[in-house]
Structure 1
Amino acid sequence: MQKPNRTLLDNNRKSLIVVEVKRPAEDITKDYVIGQLRSYMRQMKSDFGFLIGSDLRVFYDGPLNPHSDPILLERIDFEKQSEKGITFVKFFNKGSLAENRHDEYLKNKLHKFNKKREVNSLVQQLIGFEIKQKVIGYLRNEFPDTDDETFSDALQQVKIEISRKGEIKQQIVTTEKQKRTPKRKIIRPQNQRPNYQSFGGASPSAKIANIPFESHLETRLRHIYGVLYFMKQGLDYPSAIHQTHRLFPEVQDYETISDKCRRGFADSVDEFISWFNSDKILNKLLEKFSLTDHDYDIFKELLTQ
């Protein structure tokens, strides 16, 4: 059975740290290298693992780790007067280990690790589609005297985007490159608008609002059908929501229709769009609402045409 290069014990003679040393030229980010260290840590039941190669990496796999894999607490470059290196030596020298001062180091690093995860999670929510929908909802409420068609048309000429700063910089660089590239005349198609062929020339408002669903959730199914209909016509999700809202004037808040697609069906707007784009939405409708053959065929005709 292979063993790590070094093992450091705590005051109770229990393995506290395993140390694995690799050649500086070896890539210590490879899965098999990290997997080897993880195996040693589990084998020795060590809380900490030090992986030394081109730099020093400190891993933790003790009782405070909620994850299945060890946590990378810190990466320390081999540089003179490195602040990280000085702090590391301060907490992991022989005297500090004897006094269990590494517990303070662990507490601080776990706090930063968890904070970073919380920030990243919040960032993902901020740049997600649902926040964009709420921004659109706020804007819609700011113009109560504007009819839905006018607002929807105006919205299609406005770009609403929340993205990471790095992505914004990349967009700026790309734009600058485009400015330096000779422009060619491009004929773009006009914004795709819904056609009413599938309704025999009739306005969808005369059809969708009265689709004879058998389910007791017929109103919800009509709202979802309307959104899917307009998305099939090429509109994006927000525009499809607005167009569907026009078909149901009794719905006071257009967000209610969006809720039917989100909380009332998919877990999120992104999930709804993903199902639509991957052709999974028909089966998802069947599973969620236990559609009868009659109701299933109504959606099937729309989604497979």
Structure 2
Amino acid sequence: MNNEKWNELCYILSENLPSNTSEQVFELKVVQAFEKLGWSEYKNEIIVRESVQVGASNRISPDLLLKSKEQGNLFIIEVKKPTVEIDNPTFKGQLSSYMGLMRVELGILIGNKIQLFLDGKFFNKSGIVLIDEIEFKRDSEKGLKFVNLFSKQQYNKENIEIHAQEKIEEFKKIEEFKKLKRLLLSENYKVKMIDALKTDLLKEYGENTIDKVFKVLELNIKDKNKIVPVESYARSRTKSISTRERVIRPNGELAIGKYVRKTFNELVRDNKIDRNEIDRLQRADYSKLTFDIQFPFLAKENSHYYERARYYTTPYEISGEYYFVCSQWYEVPANNDRPYYEEWLKKMKRL
């Protein structure tokens, strides 16, 4: 039943929308969607653009406020035009401000997808924290969870907090993974590892022998994230071009494909890409908008986007999961992906 409700929400909020849907019309669709979940605008459970007094002279008007007679204000919804990418710090900042001023702990951004935010106090952080992101895909497990959490009959604060706690544990595991990885790759740990091996070897070998062997050996723990070897490029039918010429441009720069793999490897190595960005890089719409490429920048092997012909062969391990990088990059006057990628790269390096 709830799965059918989620599929209906996908129809209302995505599949049946004209491409030029305005934010005002989309807001009505969001109201319709929440009424499908049991909330009622007629009963003042959904408040649309209510002007709220803040302080002596200021007023705010959140797009939607959901409330109940028993518990008062429950959560705020900010609606954005569905053709606009909602991964925008301004939108998050606006929602955070409304949540703080109205003293609600939960906020939702709805546009080309749904983002759930919780007061940062649950994470010992300031501001608000993104706890989930749900795309409008039928039969989605996350979509079903959304319906379970936000149907009026099932809604309660405890369920939201349980969901948040699950996310907190998930974030903790990711941070623990990163911390342990940094530790194992550090020079200090290398020394400890060698000392431990020497201590164990002393049970069977003399100290001088062990020292001599270690002088001719190098012991390392290496990151499995490797720069993908350059594939053999097919020769042009009309002109013979060497692999070297295709990899290095006339001005000495790496060709775009090689450049993407080299610099992305460095970002992964330096832990410059967070979990949210990894999720975004697996989306076709975000990749098109950000890089002007036709496929998601990253894909797992079991993703419906993944095709061997469109992704480099060697995967990257990120937070314990394996991802393939899109190989469909172009660098010609009519279709030049390099400026898009370089802009994103600068952004990642600043983080």
* TM-score between the two structures when normalised by the length of structure 1: 0.49
Greater Rg over alpha carbons, structure: 1
More strand, by proportion:
2
TM score, norm. by length of structure 2: 0.43
